[in-house]
């Protein structure tokens, strides 16, 4: 059961990236990284408007290849082109642009281009969950953590590990835990309009497999995504 409200899919893609320069246009198994997210959005077959918001002309030129499919390449204001620009402000700006072209969104779907393994089926399932909850609460994609967070701690100034469970428990003895994987956020437009956060008071989780939950931040992430795609015929 898919949401029958007006959906705006927002794909934010800055040109700057400190850990992996130009990552959004780096070729990943035959096409620029951002293309995987654009095509997943198109293949989800939603009655949605798709906007890629970017400060970068090269990224926007890639997006223009999908103009015939109705994808909008939108150059965001310079004030939202810095690495300190808040995602919620980028979304609000995209919504304002959408309304200026006579498309008033009711549901926002945020898709990060750094999650190329997320597919159309995942997008539809997340929206389906959002619709079933029949609320204004946010749905986010998550995956199970690789290791218990009880095994995560910090070092003090003497390099002593602190805040870690040293009881020797096996990983199976801990409750399952989940982390945001950055792939999908489904948000009520009114919440976006009135709040300073993507997240509502209650946040529902759409659980994705770990092998689809790569979020490309650096070169090792990029190589892992490429390996997964080549292994699975992507």
Quick check: is 61 in a domain? yes
pLDDT over 60 at 160, yes or no: yes
Which pLDDT does position 170 carry in this prediction?
92
Contacts of 79 (CB under 8 A, 6+ apart): 85
Contact 12, 112 (CB under 8 A): yes
In a domain, 163, yes or no: no
**pTM over 0.75, yes/no:** yes
CATH for 12: 3.90.550.10
Please report whether residue 150 resides in a domain: no
Instruction: Give the C-alpha distances (Å, rounded to integers) separating 51 from 154, 195, 225.
Output: 40, 21, 24
The pLDDT value recorded for residue 16 is 84
**151 assigned to some structural domain:** no
Range 118-139 average pLDDT: 94
Mean pLDDT of 145-166: 94
| Residue 155 within any structural domain of the chain | no
For residue 127, pLDDT beyond 80: yes
Q: What is the mean pLDDT of residues 198-210?
A: 96
Cα–Cα distance between 126 and 121 in angstroms, integer? 9
**pLDDT > 90: what percent of the chain?**
90
Question: What mean pLDDT comes out for the span 40-68?
Answer: 97
Q: Is residue 34 part of a domain?
A: yes
The per-residue pLDDT for 2 is 55
Question: Per the domain annotation, does 211 fall within a domain?
Answer: yes
**Considering only CA atoms, which of 73, 54, 68, 26 is closest in space to residue 218?**
26
In a domain, 148, yes or no: no
Query: Which domain range does residue 215 map to?
Result: 7-142+179-231
Q: Is residue 234 pLDDT above 70, yes or no?
A: no
**Side-chain half-sphere CA neighbours of 207 within 13 A:** 5
DSSP string, 78-124: GGG-STT--HHHHHHHHHHHHHHTT---SEEEEE-TT-TT--HHHHH
Total domains present in the chain: 1
């Amino acid at each position: 059961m898919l949401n029958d409200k007006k959906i705006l899919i927002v794909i934010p893609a800055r040109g700057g990236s400190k850990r992996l320069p130009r990552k959004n246009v780096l070729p990943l198994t035959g096409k620029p990284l951002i293309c995987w997210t654009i095509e997943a959005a198109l293949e989800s077959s939603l009655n949605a408007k798709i906007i890629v918001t970017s400060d970068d002309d090269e990224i926007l030129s890639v997006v223009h290849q999908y103009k015939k499919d109705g994808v909008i390449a939108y150059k965001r204001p310079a004030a939202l082109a810095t690495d300190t620009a808040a995602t919620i402000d980028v979304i609000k700006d995209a919504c304002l642009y959408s309304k200026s072209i006579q498309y008033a969104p009711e549901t926002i779907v945020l898709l990060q281009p750094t999650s190329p393994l997320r597919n159309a089926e995942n997008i539809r399932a997340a929206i389906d969950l959002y619709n079933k909850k029949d609320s204004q609460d946010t749905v986010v994609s998550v995956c199970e953590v690789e290791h218990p967070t009880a095994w995560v701690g910090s070092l003090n100034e003497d390099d002593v590990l602190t805040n870690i469970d040293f009881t020797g428990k096996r990983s199976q003895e801990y409750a399952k835990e989940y982390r945001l994987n950055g792939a999908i956020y489904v948000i009520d437009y009114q919440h976006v309009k009135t709040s300073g956060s993507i997240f509502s008071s209650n946040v529902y989780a759409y659980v994705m497999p770990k092998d689809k939950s790569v979020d490309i931040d650096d070169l090792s992430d990029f190589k892992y995504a490429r390996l997964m795609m080549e292994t699975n015929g992507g």
